[in-house]
Structure 1
Amino acid sequence: MKYRFVHNNFNVIDLERSLKFYNEALGLKVARKKEAEDGSFILCFLEDGITEQQLELTWLRDWNKPKYDLGDNEFHLAFRVDDFDASLKKHKEMGCVCFENEKLGIYFIVDPDGYWIEILPTK
C-alpha cells in the first residue's frame, strides 16, 4: 500500500476573512467548495497551483469561538518561497509575522484564527 498527503484542515470562524488572508499572504486559491444543504458547514479546499497538497478551511455555522487549544503552535503548516526577503517584507507589511528565527533563516505568520504557518527559503 502507498499513501500520499491530500490535505490538511483548519477550522475558521470567518470564512471570507480567512479566504482573503490565504490568497493575499500565500497566493492560495479556492479549488473547490462544498456547502451543506442545511447550511451547517462550508468546506473550501485551497491550492497553490503547484502541488497536489490542499488546505481545507472548514466553517461551521454553530462555531463562534476557537475550538482547539493551539498550545505552543507546534502544530503548523510550512511553505517554501522562492523570494524569502520579498515574502518577509510583504508579511511584515500585512502585520502577520508572529515569530522570526534569523539563526535558522525562517519565520512564521499567523492567520486570523491563530494558526501558525512557517515560511522557509528555497534551498
Structure 2
Amino acid sequence: MKFKFAHNNINVLDLNKSIQFYEKALGLTETRRIEPEDGSFIIVYLGDKETSHLLELTWLSDWDHPYDLGDNEFHLAFVTDDYNAAYKKHKEMGCICYENPAMGIYFINDPDGYWLEVIPAK
C-alpha cells in the first residue's frame, strides 16, 4: 500500500483576497473549483505548475470572523529558485512575519495569518 500527497487545506475568510495573495506572493494559480448550488461553501485548488501538490482554499458562507490559528505552529513551505528576488518581493508586499538569517529562511503570512516558509533551493 502506497500513499502520496494530494493537497493541504486551509480555510479562508475572504476567498478573492486569498487567491490574489497566493498568486502575487507565490505564483500559485487556480486549477479547479467546487461551488455547490446552495452556495454554502467554495473550494478552490491552487497549483504551482511544477508539482502535483495542491493548496485547497475553503471559504464557508456562514463564517464571518477570523479563524483561530492557535499557536500557529502549522505552516507550509515553499522552495524558491531565486531567494533574494523572493525576499525583496515579499518585503515590498509587507508580508514577512519572521526571519531566521542563521538558517537562511524566512516566513510570510497570508491574509488569514497562516505562516508560509520560504526556503532557497539547495
Query: What does 1:15-30 correspond to in 2, within 5 Å?
Result: 15-30=15-30
Per-residue deviation at 1:102?
A: 0.2
Unaligned runs of 5+ in 2: none
Per-residue deviation at 1:73?
A: 2.2
Deviations 1:30-50 (A, max 9, x none): 000010110000000000000
TM-score by length of 2: 0.97
1:114 matched to 2:113? The reply is: yes
Where 2:92 maps in the other structure, the secondary structure is helix
Tell me how many residue pairs correspond in the alignment.
122
Q: Distance in 1 between matches of 2:102 and 2:11?
A: 32
Q: 2:56 maps to which residue?
A: 56
Give the root-mean-square deviation of aligned CA atoms.
0.7
Q: 2:96 maps to which residue?
A: 97
Unaligned runs of 5+ in 1: none
Q: 2:65 maps to which residue?
A: 65
Q: Distance in 2 between matches of 1:56 and 1:66?
A: 18
Q: What stretches of structure 1 move > 4 A for 4+ residues in a row? A: none
TM-score by length of 1: 0.97
